[in-house]
Structure 1
Amino acid sequence: MLPIPACDLAPLHTLGLRAQANHLVHFSDAQQLEALLREAERPLHVLGGGSNLVPSEQVDGTVLKVELLGRTLLGEDADAYYVAAAAGENWHDFVQWTLAQGWPGLENLSLIPGTVGAAPIQNIGAYGLELKDRFHGLAALSLEDGATCIFTAEHCEFGYRDSIFKREQAGRWLITEVLFRLPKAWQPLLDYGDLRARLEGQEITAQAVADAVMATRRSKLPDPAEIGNAGSFFHNPLVTTEQAEALKALHPGLPCYPQADGRVKLAAGWLIEQAGWKGRQLGPVGMYAKQALVLVNHGGASAADVAALMRAVQDDVYQQFGVRLNPEPVWW
C-alpha cells in the first residue's frame, strides 16, 4: 500500500518516454482506495495500460496503477448478453475471452492496446465499431471523496474518440468496472475493404473477423514491445462538407468519410504522408514508416521531443491543407 518514491514510468506506458513519478501505487483491490485516497499526495493520476499517454519527465503527485481484475456474465435476456469486466483487465484479452464464450460483438476492436477501464474514456474504435455501440454502463470512484457513481451512456457523452472523462470530468474519476451489452442477433461489420479482402472465400464468423482485424493491424501498426508508440497519435479531423469538397477538388486522392451529423471525416494519416512526414524523424522520435499516423520513439525520447514533432506535423499539415490536427493521447 505504501507509495514508492521516484518511480520510473518508462516501462508502464507504451511510448516508453523518459518519465518519473513522485509516487506510484499499484492496487488490485477497490477496498484499498478509501485509505489510499486519504493518504496519497495530490495530484492523482490514473494509469491503466499506458497505451494512450504522454507523461512529462517528472510527474508530480501520485500515480495510481489500476490492476483490478475480473470478468463475468452478469445476465442475459432475449436480445443480448450483459458482460462485465474490471478496469484492470487487458482489453484485447477480454475481447478474445468474450468470443471464446460465444458472445460476439467486440471482434472489430481486437488487438487495441490498453485496459478495459481506459476504453470508455477514449471511446475506442476501429473498423466501423466504437465502444459506445456495445456499452451499457460503468462504475467509477470519485478521486475527491471516494464515492461510487454509476454512469450510463448518456452520462458519458460519448463522441469520436471522446467522452466526458476527457473533458469536464477529466481527472475526477477512477473507473473500476465496465458493463457491455452484446447483441445476440450478431451481424458482422465488414465496411472496411481490408477486412473484406482478408475474409474473401471464408466462412464469416466473429472469430474470423477478429483474426482479420488482428492481421490487418499487425501489418500496419508497430508492436510497442519492439518500438515505443501510442498507436494513432492524431484524431482523424472532422470538417464541413464545403471544406471537404474544396480540399477534394485540389487533392483528388484525399480519403473522405461522410458522417451522420453532416460533417466529413478526413484521413489524418493521408494528410501527414502528403505533408512529407511518413517515415521522417525529428530527433529521437518520428512518424512510422508504414503508417504515418503513428508517432514512434526510436529510443531515449521525452515528452518535449514528442511535443516538438507534434507541432511540426501540425504546422506542415495546416500550411498545406488548412486543417488542424489534434492529438489523441492524454498528456501528464
Structure 2
Amino acid sequence: MKLLVTGIAGFIGSHLAERLLARGDTVVGLDSFDPFYPRAAKEKNLEGIRAHESARVIEGDILDEALVDEIFREGGFDAVVHLAGLAGVRPSLGAPARYQRVNVEGTTRLAEAALAHGVRRFVFASSSSVYGASARAPFAESERADEPLSPYAASKRSAELVLRSLVHVRGLGVTVLRYFTVYGPRQRPEMAIHAFCRAIDQSRPIPIHGSGSASRDYTYVGDAVSGTVSAIDRIDEGFRIYNLGGGSQPTTLFQLVTHLSRALGKPARIEHRPEVVGDVQHTVADISAAREALGYAPEVDIREGIARFVAWYREHGAAGE
C-alpha cells in the first residue's frame, strides 16, 4: 500500500510509519513541526524513517491548501492516516480558536483533498477526551459524546462529525480511532508519564492536580499502532468508530507514580495542586468492538509498559532534556 501519514514526526506517527515501512508499505509523511515541543525530538523520531528508501517526509501544514493538493496530485495514495493536529487538553483552554481551526478545518481540508483525488479510505486519530462528562464507564462508541470538557475534546468530536457527514454526502470511507492515553518510548515531553519520570529522576516534586485518585486507561504505543494498522487494512465504505485502550483496569495517578518510582529506583515526592478545569477524572475503554472487528488485543500492561518507557528514557530521553 501507499499511504499518506500526517503527523509523521510525532509520537504515534513515527512509530506507525516504522511499522508500515517494516511490512513493505510506501509512506509519505506530512508534518508542520509545530513548536509545541522541541523540533530536535521530532527529528530524532524520524531518523530511521528518513533513511528508508520507501519513505518521504514533507514539511508543511495541513491548512496549506495548495501544498495538500500537490501532495495528493503526485501521491497515488491507497489511504490517508490523519494523525496531525494540535494536542493537549490544558493548552487548548487558552487557544480554543486555534484548536478548532487546525483540528476541524485542517481535517476537513485533508478529507476534501482525498475525495478530490479519488482516495476514499481515511483513518482519523481521535481521542478518549471526546466522551467528556456524559459517558458511563466503560466508555462505548455508542455513547453520545456531546458534553466535551475542553476545546481540544470539542475539536476532535467536531472533526468526527464533519467526517461522518462526508461519508453520507460524498462516500468517503472513514475509520475513527479514539486513542486512550497512549504512552511509551518517544512520548511527548509534557505528557504525565514523561513529565513525572523526568521529575523523579531529577529529584523534583511531581505536581498532582486534585486528590491523585483520577485514573486513566493507559495504552502502550505498540498496541495502539497494532490497532491502527488493522484499521488501515480493514477500512471500507461507511463510518466506523473504535476505541483503542489498554484492555485492563485503569491506573490512578498515585499508582502511576508508584510504577515509575519503582522502575527508576528512586523515591517520588508529590506536590498537591488544585484540579484543572477541562480534565476528565476517569477514562476506561470498552474495546469489544475493536477486538471483534480489528482483532485488537493489547499485549503490554502498565507495569511492563512503564519499564520499557524508563529504559528508553535512560538511553534517549534524559539526554535530550
| TM-score normalised to structure 2 length | 0.28
Task: Name the one with the larger helix percent.
Answer: 2
Question: TM-score, normalised to structure 1's length?
Answer: 0.27
Larger Rg: 1
Which has more strand, going by share of residues?
1
